[in-house]
Structure 1
Amino acid sequence: MDLGLYIDGRSRPSASGQFFDSSDPFTGEVWSRVPAATAGDVDEAVRAAHRAFTSGPWAEMTPTQRGRLLYRLGDLVEANADRLGELEVRDNGKLLAEMLGQVRYLPEWFRYYGGLADKIEGAVTPAERPGIMHHIRYEPIGVVAAIVPWNSPLVLTVWKLAPALAAGNTVVVKPSEYSSASMLYLASLFGEAGFPPGVLNVVTGVGSEVGEALANHPLVERIAFTGGEGGGRAVYQAAAKSFKRVSLELGGKSANIVFDDADLDDAVKGAVAGIFAAAGQTCMAGSRLLVQDSIHDAFVDRLVSFVSQAKLGDPLLPDTDIGPIATPPQFRKILDYIDIAKGEGATCVLGGTRAEGQGLGNGLFVKPTIFTNVHNGMRIAQEEVFGPILSVIRFRTDDEAVQIANDTPYGLAAGVWTQSLDRAINLPPRLRAGTVWVNAYRVVSYLAPFGGFRNSGIGRENGKDAIRDYLEAKSVFINTRRGVPSPFVMRLPSVESFGG
């Protein structure tokens, strides 16, 4: 199946006419060909977005009209959820059950921000000086570049698209070269929903070419990026050259903390959901499991027994628990980190090798892996692996747990497992993370801001305030009196009048 770029409301080949292959992570077979966009294609997409922003139907729409289009798009996503979910699985190998759950939830983003589109109100400030009226209005920024990774492409794109469009911007999306199909299918729904040409554009290709051309384009006013720390740094540096607005949702090394008063059955399930349900290929993965010393050994035994029952296999089958690794480079990276952990002295109590055999097709599978005897200074505890590898770290006191959890360059998420009301209330403020779950893990909502501290990024996505990041505040002063005084006789107020 040959795919096309989506530019100015239509699907078309790249200017070069070249494609690159997209392989199914489970079968290893090429199932689609994705157009390799050129810098010229990027320029055309950005200019189409700029035209749509500055003139034509989209520029003239009221916020209420934009909101109605977003509602209509949400309905179309809901109607096409099964197809979108299957495309995601073919591209990134995640479980169909997980992808369908994500895609079926996505319409709520379009509905939420569709409803919010005409709720962004300016303000009239109190009169500060006679004859001068001042009000604040909020206006869209312009062309937004959305650059998204391969692990959850639709979710991470919609987190950007919905608020950006509700605010009145236009968008050029650059999906990962490993997972472009679902985004191109979503783009086709925009025309069906009634969005004018140019409001959404999709260009595909490798980041070093297409992403760089997009980040450096002079007509792009804002960049919304989700991906690795290295890619985020490159985007940030490119944006700084022309002072583009930027949001970065990057990696994590999140701590999932189990106290001795926790419901251990729930905590085991929470630890597994945090790291193995998505084969560890999620920025919020609870890759560091902090277990209180008094229950450490018993908890690890219970955890190993539970994870040992997990079934690896075809992600399209309903009884599969863990799917393949999405890309060959990521597969090699995970195996390298397993060797690094062993070399550092960590004890592998489960997995630790590639998984092969009947039912695994030609997929790149890694056995769910658990390391104990990990101390927080090890690379396996400090560096993001993005795979099904769990590092178990002992702690004794609440203070030590907080110290270990915060001792990382990242600060994306954390989990706390306890039946203590005191801990449930007082520990989250002490954890330097953008999201803290108590007796839960990997819960997100269109209502809840998501983002991280430190190296985990800049800015927040989701929630009411996210739309503000796609708007510019403008001050308007109106002189209500006739007769402007001569500038040559104007005098500044004396220092004394300010109380100095």
Structure 2
Amino acid sequence: MPLDSMLQDKKITSLIGGKLQESTPLPFKDITTDEKWLELHPVDKNGVLEAIELSMKAFQTWREEPAPSRGAALRRVASLLLANKDLFAEVMAREMGKPVSEGAGEVAYAASFFTWFAGEAERLYGLEIPSSRKGKLLLARLEPVGPTAVITPWNFPIAMAARKCAAALAAGCTVIAKPSLESPMSLLLLAKACHEAGIPPSVFQVLVGDEKMIGQELLASPNIRKLSFTGSAEVGKLLYNLSSNTLKKVTLELGGNAPFIVLDDADLDLAAKEAIPAKFRNAGQTCIAANRFLIHEKIFDEFSGKLIHEIEKLTFGSPLNPETNVSCHLHPLSLKRMEEHLQDALEQGASLLLGGKPGEPTVISGVTPGMRIFHEETFGPIAALMKVKSADEALLLANDCRFGLAAYLFTDSLASAHHFSNHLEFGIIAINDGLPSAAEASFGGMKDSGIGREGGPSGILEYLTEKFLSIRHSKP
């Protein structure tokens, strides 16, 4: 059955045991037209409980599936995603406003997680531990933690789901995924691709509907053994507390407020070019988006000029236009926060260097630590520039933040790179690089940016538990 069959039916429903669950529908709008596009059928409590029950039963068989078999299924998912990248890109454009060119890139990014974790599934090695006593064999082995709840955000509806679900499936866990109500069809199509690739329907299920009710039921269940969440720090802390009642294993990827540091010995052409993906990918609506530009005063004017030159090359417009780089359709909350941060900064003395209209790429200078844009995540296309007198001041200001997800540093000094990488309080340090994300890269933060890691060599470990075996093979 083609992946777009659900689109043809014009229905967004939960996918429980492979069956679509219909209910009293609600209108779902196309963000590019602000008109009704699909019908959304919210799941009820009984549907959530059914999904949990099916996930438990499916776990008993999926965990026994040989790792190479799981890996082969994940590789088939990757192939299906790439074969349908135009479909996924258009759905994301209509759901949440991502330019189709970026959407196609997100599909490739999502596929890379299935390929990466397919290999990881085949290399889950155990460990033999030398015993201090004769006649004993000591072993440690890794096993899937159990049925997993995955809660994904609207801004990367396929990639964030892929990063979580591919790891869980590779480990042998079953998955119940709850997408954002702003971009549910993307994740439903991903689940459909998984089923088409041979992953059993009850191994990967999707729940669409009231987020509070679904979250409460999943987290209250002792049969859900793992939670992976991407979203705000406030919601993440709430889910963390709810998960504690059943002692679930938890991965939280929360907010960010990334500094973009340019020292006086940096390659300014490189820094300006790399600032574009760091700041303006998905119109700045990424958790690792550069939020605070800390520029050495000696090169401030030259860098700001080069940055503006690069920004002026961008095309601002409809996400359905293949030439668009920055979508004119931001999330309403992103647009509101962008306008509030811009107004607050200008009222406190910042200068407008470029843009300033709602949603368009904007550059301001004269930012100070007292402004909201310095301490709060903007989640929009504003580059907030601030002069610093020294590398030490840049480091101090960069760490003056409750978040610790990503930081960017541009320097040609090996000593500076080493010093900053040791002292920046962030989980991801990008040195002379504006796009540090990759399936093979560890992703996660410090402080209020969350707990655990996704992707990379340690990503699959988040979905595994260690079992120790002490075996006496001869009499003492």
Check whether TM > 0.5. yes
Q: Which amino acid aligns with 1:322?
A: V
Cα deviation for residue 173 of structure 1 reads: 0.4
Match of 2:416 among 405, 423, 431: 423
Cα deviation for residue 280 of structure 1 reads: 1.0
**Alignment-derived partner of residue 358 in structure 1:** none
| Residues 164-205 of structure 1 deviation map (CA, whole Å, 9 limit, x = unaligned) | 111100000000000011110111122211112310000012
Contact 1:25 1:327 in 2 (8 A): no
**Alignment-derived partner of residue 30 in structure 1:** 36
Q: Secondary structure at the match of 1:60?
A: coil
Partners of 1:297 and 1:59 lie apart in 2 by 58
**Alignment-derived partner of residue 378 in structure 1:** 371
**Alignment-derived partner of residue 332 in structure 1:** 336
Partners of 1:252 and 1:161 lie apart in 2 by 22
| Residues 47-71 of structure 1 deviation map (CA, whole Å, 9 limit, x = unaligned) | 11111002x4x24311122112112
Q: What is the alpha-carbon root mean square deviation over aligned residues?
A: 1.8
**Alignment-derived partner of residue 89 in structure 1:** 93
**Alignment-derived partner of residue 394 in structure 1:** 387
In the superposition, relative to structure 1, how do residues 274 and 74 fare at CA in structure 2: closer, same or farther (>3 Å)?
A: same
Partners of 1:390 and 1:179 lie apart in 2 by 26
**Alignment-derived partner of residue 272 in structure 1:** 276
1:454 aligned to 2:447? yes
Q: Which amino acid aligns with 2:54?
A: A
In the superposition, relative to structure 1, how do residues 260 and 140 fare at CA in structure 2: closer, same or farther (>3 Å)?
A: same
Cα deviation for residue 90 of structure 1 reads: 1.3
**Alignment-derived partner of residue 19 in structure 2:** 10
Q: Which amino acid aligns with 2:441?
A: A
1:179 aligned to 2:172? no
Partners of 1:189 and 1:331 lie apart in 2 by 33
1:152 aligned to 2:156? yes
Match of 2:141 among 134, 137, 142: 137
Cα deviation for residue 438 of structure 1 reads: 1.7
**Bigger Cα displacement from structure 2, 330-339 vs 97-106:** 330-339
**Alignment-derived partner of residue 74 in structure 2:** 70
Structure 1 residues without counterparts, runs of 5 or longer = 355-365, 484-500
Q: Which amino acid aligns with 2:35?
A: E
In the superposition, relative to structure 1, how do residues 88 and 480 fare at CA in structure 2: closer, same or farther (>3 Å)?
A: same
Q: Which amino acid aligns with 1:435?
A: I
State TM-score, norm by structure 1.
Answer: 0.89
| Residues 369-413 of structure 1 deviation map (CA, whole Å, 9 limit, x = unaligned) | 222111123221011121112211111111111111111111111
**Bigger Cα displacement from structure 2, 68-77 vs 298-307:** 298-307
State TM-score, norm by structure 2.
Answer: 0.94
**Alignment-derived partner of residue 494 in structure 1:** none
Q: Which amino acid aligns with 1:381?
A: F
Match of 1:467 among 442, 460, 464: 460
| Residues 67-125 of structure 1 deviation map (CA, whole Å, 9 limit, x = unaligned) | 12112222212212221122111111111111101202322221221122121111121
Q: Secondary structure at the match of 1:287?
A: strand
Partners of 1:460 and 1:271 lie apart in 2 by 25
Contact 2:442 2:456 in 1 (8 A): yes
- The alignment-based identity, stated in percent, is 36
**Bigger Cα displacement from structure 2, 431-440 vs 18-27:** 18-27
Partners of 1:44 and 1:340 lie apart in 2 by 48
Q: Which amino acid aligns with 1:221?
A: R
| Residues 297-354 of structure 1 deviation map (CA, whole Å, 9 limit, x = unaligned) | 2322333344345332111212222103443233223222222223333333323332
1:208 aligned to 2:217? no
1:165 aligned to 2:158? no
Runs of 4+ in 1 over 4 A off after TM superposition: none
**Bigger Cα displacement from structure 2, 184-193 vs 424-433:** 424-433
Larger radius of gyration: 1
Cα deviation for residue 32 of structure 1 reads: 1.8
| Residues 16-48 of structure 1 deviation map (CA, whole Å, 9 limit, x = unaligned) | x12333323332222222221222221111211
**Alignment-derived partner of residue 408 in structure 1:** 401
Match of 1:104 among 97, 108, 120: 108
**Alignment-derived partner of residue 433 in structure 1:** 426
Partners of 1:271 and 1:131 lie apart in 2 by 61
Match of 2:308 among 297, 304, 308: 304
1:49 aligned to 2:58? no
Contact 2:13 2:42 in 1 (8 A): no
Contact 2:175 2:203 in 1 (8 A): yes
1:247 aligned to 2:251? yes
Contact 1:371 1:392 in 2 (8 A): yes
Q: Which amino acid aligns with 2:39?
A: R
Contact 1:144 1:169 in 2 (8 A): yes
Partners of 2:382 and 2:88 lie apart in 1 by 29
Partners of 1:384 and 1:419 lie apart in 2 by 28
Contact 2:319 2:329 in 1 (8 A): no
Partners of 1:457 and 1:195 lie apart in 2 by 30
